[in-house]
């Protein structure tokens, strides 16, 4: 895997995260559906224990309803997980 492969792979992820993410279904997911049916969904609607900087993929400073809110979150997330996974991997490689 050379630099070119990495860039192509990252670009694919960026395109999915930015261009497709606004079209994602907003139906409840499997767990939420079960929680609704079983009547415990409200238990999860409490304030989060730790506040996140970008809750629910709504990018700050952008109108929540615009597609950019989700797209920019996609871009941000793709870059963060990429760097985080590389960092974890590098730490695990034995030093020569």
What are the residues binding other proteins (CB under 8 A)? 1, 5-6, 9-10, 12-14, 16-17, 20-21, 23-35, 37-38, 40, 43-46, 48-57, 70, 73-74, 76-86, 88-90, 92-94
CA-based angle 14:16:19, to the nearest 5?
95
Token look-up 């009547």 returns 39
The nearer residue to other proteins, 16 or 66, going by C-beta atoms, is 16
Q: How long, in residues, is the chain?
A: 96
Helix, strand, or coil (residue 43): helix
Minimum CB–partner distance for residue 35 and other proteins (Å): 7
């Amino acid at each position: 895997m050379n630099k070119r492969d990495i860039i192509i792979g990252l670009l694919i992820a960026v395109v999915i995260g930015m261009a497709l993410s606004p079209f994602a279904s907003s139906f409840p997911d499997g767990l939420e559906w079960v929680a609704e049916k079983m009547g415990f969904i409200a238990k999860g609607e409490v304030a989060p224990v730790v506040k996140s900087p970008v809750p629910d993929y709504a990018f700050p400073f952008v109108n929540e309803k615009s597609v950019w809110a989700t797209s920019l979150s996609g871009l941000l997330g793709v870059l963060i997980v990429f760097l985080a996974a590389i960092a974890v991997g590098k730490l695990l490689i034995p030093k020569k």
